[in-house]
Amino acid sequence: MKKILFIHENYPAQFGALGRYMADNGWEVMFATAAQGVGKDEVKRDGKVKIVGYRAHRQPHESTHNYLQGTEKAILNGQGFARLAIKLRRSGFTPDVVMAHSGWGSGTFTKAVWPETKFIQYLEWWYEHPARDSMFPETEKNVENQKAKIFSRNLPFLLDWAYADGVIVPTEFQAAGVPEKMRHNFLVMHDGVDTEMFSPQPDVDLSFLETAPPKDAQVLTYATRGMEPYRGFPQFMQALSHLQKTHKDFHCIIGGTDTIHYGPKLPKGDTWKTRMLKEWDFDLDRIHFTGRLPYDKYRDVLRRSNGHVYLTVPFVLSWSLVESMAIGCPIITNDCAPTREALPTDESATFVDFQDANTVLEGMRWTLDNSEAAAAKGKVSRQLALDSYSKSALYPKKVEYINSILDQK
């Protein structure tokens, strides 16, 4: 039986569903994680997948050069996993292949413990200057310092790449940022979405929400990990406020937490949700903030949607976009490289200008006022999800790639 070990700071993250698929198809699957729900050296099970916990023994030291804080953190994560790996080796476990999310550093020392094991780097992002993941002007005057920080930020990726037997990148947009000289044994393939679970279904029941829209109301949806500028939350809320003034009957469901995961932080106690609710007028009876929802309930919210708003800087494509595509939601999104890769034509989505709340407003208004045409775009986007992002099609190909790495001499 072939053995694969996935490593990620979180669980299930990008590897959980793939791991379960491989376990169902005859692989011995282990998942190492620093997730809070799995203690150091603790062993749990998720069906056929064995989950083990590791921890860094300390945080980076404050005296470490500021360029190298991230690198030290990655090395400490790698050290924490390596200590677990030595225990696994002593217990008789040696994986045939390890796949690790690069940047965290957790898988960096795989070959220090298991020299013969194949190592696949999951490379999600390569940092560049000027940054691709920004639509806003650079503010730092010392450009050389800014560049040096960016160069240093890539050190954990480079260390993983130096020992990797293969590299997986989720999208062509993300792959385009990786230096050409690093594209050896390179697979560009999305993580995959369950397009059977995320499928259209009329007349869903949203009574699980604290407050639910009336059954006959049009509904716009917005889903995000964190309510932040990276995902266009300020522009969305400004547009929503204006749309409520002219369209008195529609409701809006907003999923996600009032947090910041990407970009500059706000002062302690301040949030973008708080700012937007103070800055703009809203009919809060028609806005439903859900927080984080279980996957099936989040899916049902998307099934209820007459228009799903997804805004982003040019960055890692959120699963929420592909999931809403698979549902068949009419998509309102900004025109940038990652969204155009997923939704290549104007027949597949309504495109707006990320930085101009007025165009976001117009996209939302058009979707509500032209429900049949918007639904037709939703059907196109669902087919695109089925054709390019369905895990049922992608997982066999991904396993084929992993086997090709194992076959290398």
Asked whether residue 207 is assigned to any structural domain, the reply reads no
Based on the domain organization, do 253 and 127 belong to the same domain? no
Asked whether residue 184 is assigned to any structural domain, the reply reads yes
Based on the domain organization, do 53 and 159 belong to the same domain? yes
Looking up tokens 């669902």, which residue turns up?
A: 382
Strand partners, 124: none
Give tens-digit pLDDT for 360-395.
Answer: 999 999 999 999 999 999 999 999 999 999 999 999
Measuring CA to CA, how many Å separate 162 from each of 111, 120, 257, 407? 11, 11, 37, 19
Give tens-digit pLDDT for 285-311.
Answer: 999 999 999 999 999 999 999 999 999
217, HSE (Cβ side, Cα atoms, 13 Å):
17
Burial of 373 (0-12, 13-18, 19+ CB in 10 A): middle
Based on the domain organization, do 185 and 227 belong to the same domain? no
Asked whether residue 290 is assigned to any structural domain, the reply reads yes
Based on the domain organization, do 291 and 180 belong to the same domain? no
Asked whether residue 209 is assigned to any structural domain, the reply reads no
CB 132 within 8 A of CB 314: yes
- Read off the CATH number of the domain in which 155 is found: 3.40.50.2000
Based on the domain organization, do 249 and 329 belong to the same domain? yes
Q: If DSSP codes are grouped into helix, strand and coil, which group holds residue 80?
A: helix
Based on the domain organization, do 94 and 154 belong to the same domain? yes
Q: What is the pLDDT of residue 265?
A: 85
Based on the domain organization, do 373 and 402 belong to the same domain? no
Based on the domain organization, do 133 and 105 belong to the same domain? yes
Based on the domain organization, do 230 and 373 belong to the same domain? yes
**138-173: b (≥16 Cβ within 10 Å) or e:** eeeeeeeebeebbebbbbbbebbbeebbbbbbbbeb
Q: What is the pLDDT of residue 366?
A: 98
Asked whether residue 383 is assigned to any structural domain, the reply reads yes
Report, as ranges of residue numbers, the positions in the chain whose pLDDT lies below 70.
Answer: 134-140
CB 273 within 8 A of CB 297: no
Measuring CA to CA, how many Å separate 112 from each of 85, 89, 124? 10, 12, 23
CA distance 219 to 375: 13
Based on the domain organization, do 60 and 125 belong to the same domain? yes
How many other C-beta atoms are found inside a 10 Å radius of the C-beta of residue 344? 12
- Tell how strand 3-8 and strand 28-33 pair up: parallel
Asked whether residue 208 is assigned to any structural domain, the reply reads no
Amino acid symbol at 400: E
Based on the domain organization, do 401 and 350 belong to the same domain? no
**Domain ranges, residue 231:** 219-388
Asked whether residue 202 is assigned to any structural domain, the reply reads no
Q: Number of structural domains, the chain?
A: 2
Asked whether residue 200 is assigned to any structural domain, the reply reads no
Based on the domain organization, do 225 and 182 belong to the same domain? no
Looking up tokens 């997730």, which residue turns up?
A: 35
Looking up tokens 């069906």, which residue turns up?
A: 47
Looking up tokens 């996935």, which residue turns up?
A: 6
